[in-house]
Amino acid sequence: MTAKLRILLPQLLVLAIVVGLGAYLIHNTLDNLARQGVATGFAYLDREAAFEIGEKLIPYTSADSYGRALLVGLANTLEVGVLGCILATILGLIVGVARMSRNWLIRHIAALYIQAIRNVPLLLQLFVWWDLFRVSAPPPRQAWQIMPGFFLSNRGLTIPLPSFEGGFHWDIPHLAGFNFAGGHIVTPEFAALLIGLVIYTAAFIAEIVRAGIEGVSKGQTEAALALGLKPRQALFLIVLPQARRIILPPLITDYQALIKNSSLAVAIGFPELMAITNTTLNNTGQAIEAISLMMIIYLGLSLITSALLNWYNARLALKGMAR
Amino acid sequence: MTGTDPMISLSNVEKRYGAFQVLKGVSLEVARGEKVVVCGPSGSGKSTMIRCINRLERHEAGRITVDGIELTDDPKQIEAIRRDVGMVFQQFNLFPHLTVLQNLTLAPVKVRGMKERDARDLAMQLLETVRIPEQADKYPGQLSGGQQQRVAIARALAMKPKAMLFDEPTSALDPEMIKEVLDAMVALAGQGMTMIVVTHEMGFARQVADKIVFMDQGQIVEEATPTDFFSKPKSERAQLFLSNILGH
Amino acid sequence: MKAIAWARANLFNGVWNTILTLVAGYLIARGAWMAIDWGLIHAAWSAPDGRACRAITNDEGACWAFIEQWYRFILFGRFPPGEQWRALIVVILFIGMVVVSCDRRLWRSAWPITAIWVVGLIVSFILMHGGVLGLPVVTTDLWNGLPLTLFLSVIALAGAFPLAILLALGRRSDYPIIRALSVGYIELVRGVPIISILFMASVMLPLFLPAGVNIDNLIRALVGLMLFYAAALAEVIRGGLQAIPTGQYEAADVLGLSFGQKTRLVVLPQALSITIPPLVNTFIAAFKDTTLVTIVGLFDLLTTASNSITDPQWRGFYVEAYVFVAAIYFVFCFSMSRYSRSLERSTER
C-alpha cells in the first residue's frame, strides 16, 4: 500500500500542478473575455467572412462563411505542401547525389549550395524571392516571354491551361490592357513561397540523401561494380533502393517541416491556413478558437504525413526492403 | 542478530521474463565471510539470481534477506540493502565522465555523507590495494580493461559493503588481464569479505570458494565444496558442464 | 604535373565527367563574373540618395551606398543613435561570450559558463536598458536589430534548457502520468508551426493573465520561443539519454545513489556531452527561427532590413539589404555549424 502510494503520489502531485495551472489560466481567460464582451465558441465559423481571398482552389466569395475561408486556406496549404514536397524531393535527390559525385567541381557546387541555403533563415530567403518577383520583374506590358504562353512579370507567371469548353483546346494567356487574361496565373506570393520552400528544404533533404548513400555499405557498390554494372547503374539499382530505409524517417520530419514552414506565407501575403487564421482572428477577436483550430489542423497534417510515409515504409518492409 | 545468521539468504525465489521462467524457486544461504562461486551454462539464471539480491531485477515470489533486512518493494529497504552490498559488473560500468578518483569518492560522499578529504584518503588506500594508485587522475577510457575492472572493485569497496557480488567480472577481459583482476579478488577474499561470484574461472573457484553452486535452467542443481564438486560431481548436468569447460 | 594528374582524376575522367565539368565550370564562371561585375565593378559605394546611386550604377551594379547610409539602422533599428555604442558593446559582449563558451576546457563543471552568462546578461541588460550610471533609459520597443536577435535567441534558449531537461527526463520516466504529460507537450509543440506558438504567445498570453497585468511584447515573444525551443531541445536531450548504456544506471543504483543524484551526477553530464553537436545544430535552427518574431511585430535584424528598403529616398535596394543581413546570419550559423562538426569529429576519435 505505501509502496503503491509512493509511486502514485509524485504523479498526482505533478498532475495537480498542471491541472491547477491550466484551470487558473482558463479562469483568467474567461474572466478577460467576459470583460471584453467576446463571445466564446465556434459560432463565428458560420458568419459571413466579408473579406476577399486572392487565390483559391475552391469557389469562395466574401459572402461565404469564415469556415469556408478556412477551408480555402487549408486547400492552399495543401497545394503548396504537396507540390513543395514533390519538388523538394527531386531537387534534394539531385543535390544529394551531386554531393557524392566523383567530379570535384560538381561535388563542391553541391556543398556550396547546401551550406549557403542552410545557414540563412528561410524567411529572409522568402523575402528575397518575393521582392525578386514584385520589384525586379517587369510590368505586364514588358513581360518576359519564357515560352509561348509563359509570361513572367511582376504580376506573376502565366501558364497555359487545357480547356474542355467547346472541344479541347489550350487556353493561352494573352495581354489584355494592363494585365494578362486567360490561362492560369501564378502569383508572386505563391511562386516565392513555393520556390523558397523547395530550395530551402532540398538543402536539408540533400544531406539526408547523402547520409543514406553513405549508410549503405561500401561492399554493395563494390559487388555491383564487380558484376560489371556502371557506377550510375550501381547507384540507381543497388545503392539508392537500399538507402531508402535510412532516408525515410528523417525525410518524414523534413516533409512535416516543409508543411509547417509554409505558414511563413503569412509574412508575404499568400492566403494559406495561417494567413486566413490571422485575418479571422483580427476580424472576429476569436483568438483562442481560431488558433486552436489552426493548431489542430496542422497537427492533423503532421500525423497524416507520417502515417502515409510509414505506410509506404511498411510496404517496403513487406518486400524485405526495410527493417 | 547473531553471528550465525546468514548474511544473504534466498528462499524459493522466482522470476520470469514474459513466458520464460528464469528462476524456478532458488534457495541459497550465504554465511558471513563465506565465499560462494556460482557457475553453470549461459542462460541458467546465475546473473539474474545475483541481480535480484540488490534489486537490479525484481523477484516475483520467494524471499530475499540481506543481513536480516528483507528485500521488498519499499524503496527504503532497497536503499539500505544497496548501501551494504557492493557489485562488480562484467562491463565494468565505470562512469566515463569522472576520473578514477572521482568514481571512487562519488558514492561515499553523496550517499554515506563522508567528508571529501576522508573519501579521497580511503579511495587512495583502496587504489593501493588493487595496485593502481598512479592512475587516480586518469579517466576510465584511458585505462586497460583489467585496470578498469580493478577500479570497479575499488569503487564498490569504497562504500564499505558487508558483501560483494561479482557478475562474471573477467568475461569481458583479454586473457592476459584476467589474472590481475583475480589476484585482487583473492586478496579481498583473504580479508574475510562475504562474496558471491558468478564466474567460469575454475582455478579461482578451487582456490577461494567455500562452496560451489551449480545452476542450470533456473534451478540450483548442486551445492558442494570445491573438492567434492570437481572430483565427484553428483548430477549428470554438472559432469557434462565440467567436461565441456575443462575438457579442451 | 601533379595538378594535371589531379584534374584528370577528379574532373576529366571519362567523356560524361568532362562534359559535366565544362558545363558546370562555364555556368559557375559566368555566375561568378556576374556577381563580381554587379557587386564590385559597376557598384556605387557612395551616393546621397537612391536616385543618384542609380544614376552612377546605371542599374547594372550594386548600390552599396545604401548599406553605407543604412547599416546603423539595420544593425540597431530605432535605438537612439547617440546611445548605439551601448548596443554595439552588447553585441560584442555576446559574441565574446559565445566564443568563450566554445572552449571545452571550461566544461569540466557547469559553473564557469553559467557565471559568465549570468554576469554577461546582467551587464547587457543594464547597458541596453540604462536608467543607472547616468545612462538614459531605452525602452524595450527600441531594442531592435542585431542586439534583439541575439537577446531573443540566447535568453529563449537558456530559459528553454531546464524545461527541456525536465521534459526529456519526463518522457523517459517510469511514471505513466508524467510520461504522458511530457509526450503530449513535446508532440503537440513539435507538430505545429512555430508561428502558431508565437501567435498564441502574442494574442493569448495577455488573456491568460489576470486582468490589469500587462506584459511587454518582447516578453511575449520570448515566452513563445522558449516554449517552442523547449520541445525541440527535449528531443535532442532524449537522444542523449537513450545513448547511455543501462550499465551506467545500474552502477549508480548499486552504489546507492538516489534518483536525483543518479540523474544529476551520472546521467545528465554524460547525456549532455554526447548531445552537444546536435544541440549546437538546434541552436543554429533556433537562431534562424528568431526571424519569425517579425510576424508578431518585433524589430529584429530581418525586420530592420526589410523596413530600410521601404524608405522613399532609397526604395527598392532589397538585394543589397538582404545580402548584407544574410551575410551576418551566414557568418553566425556557418561558424556554429563548423564548430559542431569539429566537436563531432573529436568525439568520434
**In this predicted structure, what is the pLDDT of residue A198?**
95
CA distance C122 to C127: 9
Percent of chain B past pLDDT 90, that is, above it, reads 45
> Which residues in chain A have their CB less than 8 angstroms from residue C223's CB?
none
Nearest to A291 among C204, C316, C337 (CB): C204
Average pLDDT, chain B: 89
Q: How far is B74 from chain A (nearest CA, A)?
A: 6
Q: List the chains bordering chain B where 3 or more Cβ pairs fall under 8 Å.
A: A, C
**In this predicted structure, what is the pLDDT of residue C349?**
45
CA distance B25 to B8: 16
**In this predicted structure, what is the pLDDT of residue B2?**
46
Average of pLDDT values for A27-40? 79
Are C196 and C241 contacting, i.e. CB atoms less than 8 angstroms apart?
no
Is A95 among the domain residues?
yes
Secondary structure letter of residue B60 according to DSSP: S
Question: What confidence tier does A318 reach under pLDDT thresholds 50, 70, 90?
Answer: low
A30 touches chain C (CB under 8 A): no
Q: Is the confidence at residue C347, as pLDDT, over 80?
A: no
Element (H, E) at A157: strand A156-159
Are C74 and C304 contacting, i.e. CB atoms less than 8 angstroms apart?
yes
pLDDT tens digits, A210-264 = 998 888 877 788 787 777 777 777 888 888 888 887 888 888 889 999 999 999 9
SS3 content of chain C, % helix, strand, coil (to 5): 80, 0, 20
A293-302, B56-65, C200-209, C216-225: segment of lowest average pLDDT: C200-209
> Which residues in chain C have their CB less than 8 angstroms from residue A18's CB?
181
C257 touches chain B (CB under 8 A): yes
pLDDT tens digits, C16-28 = 778 888 888 899 8
Average of pLDDT values for C125-135? 83
Strands of chain B (E only): list them: 6-17, 20-31, 35-39, 61-66, 69-70, 85-88, 163-167, 194-198, 211-216, 219-224
C284 touches chain A (CB under 8 A): yes
Cα A55 from chain centroid (whole Å): 17
C177, C205, C304, C333: best to mutate for the A interface, most A CBs within 10 A: C177
Is A147 among the domain residues?
no
* One CATH from 1.10.10.60, 1.10.3720.10, 3.90.1180.10, 3.90.1150.10 for C146-348: 1.10.3720.10
**In this predicted structure, what is the pLDDT of residue C75?**
84
Residue A182 phi, psi dihedral angles, 5° rounding: 80, 165
Which C-chain residues 303-332 have CB contacts (< 8 A) with chain A?
306, 309, 316, 318-319, 322, 325-326, 329-330
Query: Hey, what's the torsion of the CAs at A88, A90, A96, A97, to 10 degrees?
Result: -170
> Which residues in chain C have their CB less than 8 angstroms from residue A11's CB?
175-178
B75 touches chain A (CB under 8 A): yes
pLDDT tens digits, C269-278 = 888 888 888 8
Cell numbers found for residue B131? 595496485
Q: Is the confidence at residue C167, as pLDDT, over 90?
A: yes
Cα A194 from chain centroid (whole Å): 8
Residue with more model confidence, C83 or B102: B102
Angle A159-A162-A167 from CA coordinates, rounded to 5°:
150
Q: Is the confidence at residue C96, as pLDDT, over 70?
A: yes
Average pLDDT, chain C: 86
Query: Three-state SS for B222?
Result: strand
Single out the residue of A91, A11, A291 nearest to residue C198, CA to CA: A291
DSSP readout, A162-202?
A: EE-TTS-EEE--EEETTEEESSEEE-HHHHHHHHHHHHHHH
Query: Are A278 and C318 a contacting pair at CB < 8 A?
Result: no
Average pLDDT, chain A: 84
**In this predicted structure, what is the pLDDT of residue A117?**
94
Q: Is the confidence at residue C45, as pLDDT, over 90?
A: no
Single out the residue of A312, A179, A192, A311 nearest to residue A244, CA to CA: A312
> Which residues in chain A have their CB less than 8 angstroms from residue B79's CB?
none
Are C274 and C240 contacting, i.e. CB atoms less than 8 angstroms apart?
yes
Question: What confidence tier does C56 reach under pLDDT thresholds 50, 70, 90?
Answer: confident
Q: Is the confidence at residue A200, as pLDDT, over 90?
A: yes
Single out the residue of C215, C201, C213 nearest to residue C293, CA to CA: C201
CA distance B122 to B246: 40
Are B48 and B38 contacting, i.e. CB atoms less than 8 angstroms apart?
no
The ipTM (two decimal places) reads 0.89
Nearest to C318 among A103, A120, A131 (CB): A131
Q: List the chains bordering chain A where 3 or more Cβ pairs fall under 8 Å.
A: B, C
A21, A103, A278: best to mutate for the C interface, most C CBs within 10 A: A103
Q: Is the confidence at residue C73, as pLDDT, over 80?
A: yes
**In this predicted structure, what is the pLDDT of residue A323?**
41
Q: Taking the CA atoms of chain C, what radius of gyration do you get in angstroms? A: 25
Cα A111 from chain centroid (whole Å): 24
Going from the C-alpha of A196 to that of each of A202, A262, C346, the distances in angstroms are 10, 10, 35
Single out the residue of C2, C36, C19, C39 nearest to residue C320, CA to CA: C39
For A2-71, what is the HEC assignment?
HHHHHHHHHHHHHHHHHHHHHHHHHHHHHHHHHHHCCCCCCHHHHCECCCCCCCCCCCCCCCCEHHHHHH
Pairing status of strand A161-163 against strand A169-171? antiparallel
Give the HSE-up count for residue B135: Cα atoms under 13 Å, Cβ half-sphere: 25
Cα B206 from chain centroid (whole Å): 17
Question: What confidence tier does C8 reach under pLDDT thresholds 50, 70, 90?
Answer: confident
B79 touches chain A (CB under 8 A): no
Q: How far is C278 from chain A (nearest CA, A)?
A: 14
Angle C169-C171-C172 from CA coordinates, rounded to 5°:
65
Query: Hey, what's the torsion of the CAs at A87, A93, A94, A97, to 10 degrees?
Result: 170
Residue with more model confidence, C140 or B248: C140
**In this predicted structure, what is the pLDDT of residue A86?**
94
Query: Are C250 and B93 a contacting pair at CB < 8 A?
Result: yes
Average of pLDDT values for C167-181? 89
Q: Is the confidence at residue B3, as pLDDT, over 60?
A: no
CA distance A135 to C316: 7
Strands of A50-148 (E only): list them: 144-147
Percent of chain C past pLDDT 90, that is, above it, reads 20
Query: Three-state SS for B99?
Result: coil
CA distance C200 to A292: 9
Average of pLDDT values for A160-165? 76
Query: Rounded to two decimals, what is the model's pTM?
Result: 0.84
**In this predicted structure, what is the pLDDT of residue A258?**
94
pLDDT tens digits, B36-46 = 999 988 888 89
Is A231 among the domain residues?
yes
Cell numbers found for residue C312? 522613399
- Tally Cβ neighbours within 10 Å of residue A27: 12
Percent of chain A past pLDDT 90, that is, above it, reads 26
C-alpha dihedral sign at A267, A268, A271, A273 = negative
Q: How far is C211 from chain B (nearest CA, A)?
A: 46
A6, A32, A123, A289: best to mutate for the C interface, most C CBs within 10 A: A123
CATH code, domain with A98: 1.10.3720.10
Is A238 among the domain residues?
yes
C175 touches chain A (CB under 8 A): yes
Residues spanned by the domain of A215: 66-121+192-322
Give the count of domains, chain A: 1
Question: What confidence tier does C348 reach under pLDDT thresholds 50, 70, 90?
Answer: low
C89 touches chain A (CB under 8 A): no
**In this predicted structure, what is the pLDDT of residue B121?**
93
B61-70, C139-148, C296-305, C311-320: segment of lowest average pLDDT: C311-320
Question: What b/e sequence results for C115-133 when a residue is b if at least 16 CB atoms lie within 10 Å of its CB, and e otherwise?
Answer: eebeebbeebeebbebeee
Q: How far is B68 from chain A (nearest CA, A)?
A: 20
Question: What confidence tier does C289 reach under pLDDT thresholds 50, 70, 90?
Answer: very high
Question: What confidence tier does A8 reach under pLDDT thresholds 50, 70, 90?
Answer: confident
Q: Counting one residue from A and one from C, how many pairs have CB atoms under 8 Å apart? A: 147
Element (H, E) at B153: helix B145-157
pLDDT tens digits, B227-248 = 888 888 888 888 888 888 876 5
